[in-house]
């Protein structure tokens, strides 16, 4: 199986549990891997047959920028559900990073994997 990926997709949103976090927008970074068989679109050189990473990115940008979650865990789960349900992806690995959230660390966050990873 092939992997379609989106790396370091940066999206501003309201995220966090502290009062000061609820009053500002913070930039989150998403790294996404999605299982997809690219043999059919590659054979026909047809974008309509692909897992279009631009469409996935636009959908997540729209959703995340309008969201307002307390936990990155909740946001990560919702984003993976969108990818699996709306784009028909059987396996997704998503890393959601919150840069600058902990002093001394480049970023913190979660990495989740949902579905069965194909061989």
Known catalytic residues are 98
Sheet holding 2-15, edge to edge: 68-69, 2-15, 26-36, 91-99, 107-115
Q: Which two tokens stand for residue 101?
A: 């959230």
Cβ-contact 86, 50 below 8 angstroms? no
């Amino acid at each position: 199986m092939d992997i379609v990926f989106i790396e370091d997709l940066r999206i501003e949103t309201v995220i966090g549990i502290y009062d000061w976090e609820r009053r500002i927008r913070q930039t989150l970074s998403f790294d996404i891997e999605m299982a997809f068989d690219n043999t059919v679109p590659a054979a026909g050189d047809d974008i309509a047959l692909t897992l279009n990473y631009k469409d996935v990115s636009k959908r997540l940008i729209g959703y995340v920028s309008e969201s307002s979650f307390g936990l990155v865990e909740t946001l990560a789960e919702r984003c993976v559900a969108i990818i699996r349900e709306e784009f028909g992806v059987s396996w997704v690995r998503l890393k959601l990073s919150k840069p600058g959230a902990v002093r001394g660390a480049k970023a913190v966050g979660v990495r989740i994997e949902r579905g069965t990873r194909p061989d």
